[in-house]
Amino acid sequence: MTADPPSDLFPYFRTLNDVPATVNWAEFFGNTQPVELDIGCGRGLFLFNSTEAHPETNFLGLELDYTEGRRGARRLQKREFPNGRVIGGDAHEFLRTRVAAHSVSRAHVYFPDPWWKRRHRKRRLYNEHFVDLLSKVVMHGGEVHSWTDVEEYFGVISGLMNHHADFEVLPAPVPKAPAHDMDYLTSFHRRRTLDGANTYTGCWRRK
Ligand SMILES: C[S@@+](CC[C@H](N)C(=O)[O-])C[C@H]1O[C@@H](n2cnc3c(N)ncnc32)[C@H](O)[C@@H]1O
């Protein structure tokens, strides 16, 4: 994260600083549709496709890297989608300070950075605190979906989610075979699948 970027993409892209208090989703999106989060949305392939396919749902991408987040927001802006937005900043902070309890119907976390070096592991998105935050923001009956190509990290994610008192395990989705070259859930899903990597998928329901 660097200095705040220009506001040319407003309201498709804004930073945490532009959202100083708990978000009122109805005001933020201008409607009362359910809200889903794409945490660590990267350049926003999932966000874009979901926003287009489900106009009845609002999608918010959270992305630490402003360049990537702005790239995703630019695609949403080009199509003038009313139900897709990106916030630049740290997802932990956003969930902790800006999201009302049980106000989100789904949280998607796809291909979170694995931080391979042991001394960097504390930078991982998933830890006990993050799962507590998911438990706080996801509504009862809502869902968390998480995919990764890193078997060891999937073990950590499932360990945290499966043993959390507020979540129950749902059947893991099976990634479908792509119908064309861009038919993947996310950019990382595409890149790692073409590299020959496996994908580990998990789905949990907030009790
Ligand atoms: C490996 S990429 C995956 C991007 C996308 N989900 C995909 O599957 O193509 C992980 C993304 O998470 C973002 N990220 C990492 N930590 C984050 C945090 N604390 N808050 C928001 N985004 C974060 C990174 O900047 C990066 O864009």
- pLDDT tens digits, one per residue of 131-155: 999 999 999 999 999 999 999 999 9
The length of the chain in residues reads 207
Taken in order of first residue, the domains within the chain and their CATH numbers are: 13-206 (3.40.50.150)
Rounded Cα gap, residues 184 and 70, in angstroms: 21
CA of residue 39 to ligand 1 center, whole Å = 7
- pTM of the predicted model as reported, rounded to 2 decimal places: 0.97
Q: Does the C-beta of 188 come closer than 6 Å to ligand 1?
A: yes
Rounded Cα gap, residues 147 and 109, in angstroms: 7
- pLDDT tens digits, one per residue of 39-89: 999 999 999 999 999 999 999 999 999 999 999 999 999 999 999 999 999
Q: Does the C-beta of 62 come closer than 6 Å to ligand 1?
A: yes
Rounded Cα gap, residues 95 and 80, in angstroms: 26
Nearest C-alpha to atom 3 of ligand 1 is from which residue?
111
